[in-house]
Amino acid sequence: MTAQIQPEAMQLLTPAEARQVETGTSSRPSASAAASPEPAAAGECLQAGTFTDAQAEALRGKLAPLPASSWLLETSTDPGRWILYMGRFADADALAKKRTELRERKVPFERLRNPTLEPGLSLGGFGSQAEAEAALVRMASQGVRTARVLQEKPEASGQRLRFPAA
């Protein structure tokens, strides 16, 4: 969210509108729907974030028409993410060759979430460096020699928007 260009352009969607956007049945809420938001379904707690202070300020303005008890901005910390990283590969052919090798060894891998690390592969994500280091030791028994532990995403602090369950 730190790359959000126009946080003031954010639109609040009801749960039904969000589902429509997710399923592709609606690309944008109607003006009347945006003007009269419906509450979340009973027992449904919605949250979004982590927002910077500037983004949280813009959200407060957008949320002002809603009852004050229907939403909260809370301080939150998103944990960092550590991965077992293989890469950068010289080209697409080298990446394809490594994928084939990992499949033959029955080593699971996934696409990277961080495009700046491409072309490369992740052999798993972990909540701490220690967990990732332990996994790297286990992977060595499967013949993995060139993977390394890398912090894919640093810990982030900010504000989380929450609509508590009714």
Residue owning tokens 């994928």: 99
Per-residue burial over 29-39, b = 16 or more CB atoms within 10 Å of its CB, e = otherwise? beeebeeebee
Q: If you ran DSSP here, which 8-state letter would residue 68 be given? A: G
Collapse the DSSP code of 59 into the 3-class scheme (helix H, G, I; strand E, B; otherwise coil) and give the result. helix
pLDDT band at residue 6 using 50, 70 and 90 as cut-offs:
low
Q: From CA 139, how far away is CA 130, in angstroms rounded?
A: 14
Residues 102-115: pLDDT tens digits? 999 999 999 898 89
For 120, phi then psi, to 5°, come to -165, 180
Q: What is the pLDDT of residues 57-96, one digit of tens each?
A: 999 999 999 888 889 999 998 889 999 999 999 999 999 9
**Which residues, listed in sequence order, are joined to residue 46 by a DSSP beta bridge?**
163
Q: Domain ranges in the chain?
A: 7-77+156-163, 81-153
Q: CA torsion, points 16, 21, 23, 24, in degrees to nearest 10?
A: 140
